[in-house]
């Protein structure tokens, strides 16, 4: 009984080390595979029974083997030249699906998980890897905002599809004007010449129009003190001949503490100035525009100082119609389209998938994984939120295989296998001696 148990233990040792050799060979073969997670084999003793302990008999139980893929380990990140090569810095995984499932179009898209990928638009615009994996995300609304989606289901995730021929424009909704008006123009010796400038804006169709801004000083009578007062006239060029959309009387402070800042804005025609925000809500032909001239007492909007007219800054949003040039993925997972006019637009958001036990995921082909009972249920996080890390563009995750460590394990496995084979050979010789007793 003890001799045969030794034989069985030797056979179990051969099988266990053969399994370990398989994981080592797989790890070494994938040492240059991006996103590969190394497999690990662990041995555990198997105790069958000790027989008659008082008689000193021992029954060999042998060894059992378990193998696991260490999905939770992270490889080093390496840079690339493709904007849609992405990796994750920290916890979390990318949701992907199979291009074959998109072609079949049967209404179901299996969600797979990956920690890195090199995605490029295919002939239909899908962000697809060379292995046939398509990146998934939540689609944005027309204004670039992401609707609210359920976080515990893949319903709502769509294959990311890029329309390379897309033309887009953005209407101007905000204009901020900062300018200095010459204080000398409101003195009795002034010629009363107006100060003018023109500000371009874009309507809802991406067409260009202009708001003409005219500052006319209120010149006092000879011998009178300076008025520090101007008439602001805003004219919209989108209509024939131009339409006055607002006229205001501007009064500037001449006190020692707040000299040169706005003191009062009185409405002559048009919408009322809001002193809390510094905004005049203009209505032009291209739509409403918040025209910001600064708050009372603020040096950041209109001022009246010295003797020079200086338009210091004009900030506005909006852009003319432009063609899409490229797409990028930012650290929070937003897929952003870049246009040749300089504008950007959010078109998708890629969430990060997290599970309680990443090592319990089921390993699939192309370094992807599927949700399994051992992994626990998944949750979709915004990148950089909760326990998840952020997304790194222009980067790939390298294999977690340490070739030097694997080669060392290979030597150990080879020696252990040879030793177990020697045990079997020894048991065979002992059984042969037992057989020879009868002769």
DSSP line for 163-222: -TT-EEEE---EEEEEEEE-GGGGSTT-----EEEEEEEE-TTS-EEEEEEEEEE-PPPT
Interval 254-300: pLDDT, tens: 999 999 999 999 999 999 999 999 999 999 998 899 999 999 999 99
Contact 29, 22 (CB under 8 A): no
The domain that contains 280 carries what CATH number?
2.60.98.20
Q: Which pLDDT does position 319 carry in this prediction?
A: 85
Same domain, 229 and 311: yes
Q: For the ranges 93-97, 239-243, 349-353, which has the lowest average pLDDT?
A: 239-243
> Residue 324 falls within a domain, yes or no?
no
Both tokens assigned to 143: 């204004």
Same domain, 136 and 61: no
Same domain, 100 and 191: no
Same domain, 197 and 307: yes
> Residue 208 falls within a domain, yes or no?
yes
Q: Is the pLDDT of residue 58 over 80?
A: no
Q: Is the pLDDT of residue 1 over 60?
A: no
* Residue 108 banded pLDDT, cuts 50, 70, 90: confident
Both tokens assigned to 125: 């615009």
Q: What are the distances in angstroms from CA 397 to CA 32, 352, 357?
A: 10, 15, 20
> Residue 325 falls within a domain, yes or no?
no
Contact 29, 403 (CB under 8 A): no
> Residue 228 falls within a domain, yes or no?
yes
Distance of CA 278 to the CA centre of its chain: 35
* Angle separating helix axes 403-436 and 2-29, nearest 10 degrees: 160
> Residue 322 falls within a domain, yes or no?
no
Q: Which pLDDT does position 439 carry in this prediction?
A: 65
Both tokens assigned to 429: 């010789």
Q: Which pLDDT does position 300 carry in this prediction?
A: 94
Cα 274–Cα 280–Cα 286 angle in degrees, nearest 5? 150
Q: Which residues contact 253 (CB under 8 A, 6 or more apart)?
A: 228, 259, 260, 261, 262, 263, 297
Same domain, 264 and 230: yes
- Residue identified by tokens 């040792």 is 13
> Residue 380 falls within a domain, yes or no?
yes
Residue ending a domain, among 317, 346, 363, is 317
Q: What are the distances in angstroms from CA 269 to CA 232, 243, 423?
A: 11, 12, 104
Same domain, 306 and 177: yes
* Residue 91 banded pLDDT, cuts 50, 70, 90: very high
> Residue 277 falls within a domain, yes or no?
yes
Q: What percent of the chain has pLDDT over 70?
A: 98
Same domain, 311 and 337: no
Q: For the ranges 46-60, 360-374, 403-417, which has the lowest average pLDDT?
A: 46-60
DSSP line for 40-64: EEEEEE---B---GGGT--B---EE
Same domain, 264 and 307: yes
Same domain, 85 and 158: yes
Specify the number of domains making up the chain: 3
Interval 67-86: pLDDT, tens: 999 999 999 999 999 999 99
Q: What are the distances in angstroms from CA 41 to CA 21, 309, 333, 404?
A: 9, 78, 35, 17
Same domain, 306 and 228: yes
Q: For the ranges 44-58, 183-197, 215-229, which has the lowest average pLDDT?
A: 44-58
Q: What are the distances in angstroms from CA 36 to CA 74, 105, 138?
A: 9, 29, 26
Residue ending a domain, among 290, 317, 344, is 317
- Residue identified by tokens 């079949």 is 104
Burial class of residue 220, CB neighbours in 10 A (0-12, 13-18, 19+): middle
pTM summary value: 0.75
417: domain range?
A: 2-70+400-436
Instruction: Please provide residue 296's backbone torsions phi and psi, each rounded to the nearest 5 degrees.
Output: -60, 135
Q: What percent of the chain has pLDDT over 90?
A: 78
Q: Which pLDDT does position 49 carry in this prediction?
A: 66
Task: Give the integer Cα–Cα distance in Å for 69 and 61.
Answer: 26
Same domain, 197 and 286: yes
Q: Which pLDDT does position 207 carry in this prediction?
A: 87
Q: Is the pLDDT of residue 5 over 90?
A: no
310 three-class SS: strand
Interval 320-345: pLDDT, tens: 888 888 999 999 999 999 988 888 88
Same domain, 292 and 384: no
> Residue 323 falls within a domain, yes or no?
no
Per the DSSP assignment, residues forming a β-bridge with 264 are 251
Residue ending a domain, among 285, 317, 349, is 317
Interval 132-181: pLDDT, tens: 999 999 999 988 899 999 999 999 999 999 987 777 888 999 999 999 99
Contact 372, 74 (CB under 8 A): no
47 vs 197, which has greater pLDDT? 197
């Amino acid at each position: 009984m003890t001799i045969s148990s030794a034989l069985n233990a030797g056979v179990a040792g051969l099988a266990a080390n053969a399994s370990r050799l398989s994981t080592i060979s797989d790890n070494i073969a994938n040492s240059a595979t991006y996103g590969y997670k190394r497999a690990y084999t662990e041995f555990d003793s198997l105790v069958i029974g000790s027989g008659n302990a008082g008689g000193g008999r021992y029954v060999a139980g042998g060894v059992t083997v378990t193998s696991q893929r260490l999905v939770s380990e992270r490889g080093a990140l390496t840079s690339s030249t493709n904007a849609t090569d992405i990796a994750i810095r920290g916890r979390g995984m990318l949701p992907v699906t199979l291009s074959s499932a998109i072609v079949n179009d049967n209404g179901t898209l299996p969600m797979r998980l990956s920690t890195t990928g090199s995605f490029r638009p295919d002939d239909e615009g899908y962000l697809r890897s060379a292995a046939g994996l398509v990146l998934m995300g939540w689609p944005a609304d027309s204004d670039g905002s992401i609707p609210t989606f359920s976080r515990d289901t893949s319903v709502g995730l769509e294959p990311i599809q890029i329309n390379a021929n897309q033309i887009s424009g953005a209407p101007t909704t905000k204009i901020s004007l900062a300018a200095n008006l010459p204080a000398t123009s409101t003195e009795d010796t002034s010629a009363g010449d107006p100060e003018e400038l023109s500000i371009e804006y874009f309507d809802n169709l991406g067409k260009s129009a202009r708001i003409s801004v005219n500052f006319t000083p209120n010149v006092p009578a000879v011998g009178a003190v300076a008025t520090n007062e101007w008439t602001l006239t805003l004219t919209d060029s989108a209509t024939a001949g131009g339409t006055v959309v607002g006229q205001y009387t501007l009064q500037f402070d001449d006190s020692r503490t707040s000299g040169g800042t706005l003191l009062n804005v009185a409405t002559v025609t048009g919408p009322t100035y809001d002193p809390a925000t510094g905004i005049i809500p203009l209505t032009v032909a291209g739509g409403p525009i918040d025209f910001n001239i600064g708050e009372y007492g603020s040096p950041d909007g209109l001022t009246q100082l010295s003797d020079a007219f200086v338009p210091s800054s004009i900030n506005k949003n909006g852009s003319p119609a432009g063609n899409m040039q490229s797409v990028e993925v930012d650290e929070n997972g937003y897929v952003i389209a870049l246009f040749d006019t300089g504008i950007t637009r959010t078109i998708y958001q890629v969430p990060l998938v997290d599970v309680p036990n990443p090592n319990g995921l089921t390993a699939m082909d192309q370094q992807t994984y599927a949700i399994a009972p051992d992994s626990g249920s998944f949750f979709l996080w915004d990148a950089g939120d909760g326990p998840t890390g952020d997304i790194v563009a222009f980067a790939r995750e390298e294999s977690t295989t340490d070739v030097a460590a694997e080669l060392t394990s290979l030597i150990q496995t080879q020696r252990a296998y040879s030793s177990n084979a020697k045990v079997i050979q020894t048991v065979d010789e002992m059984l042969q001696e037992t057989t020879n007793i009868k002769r």
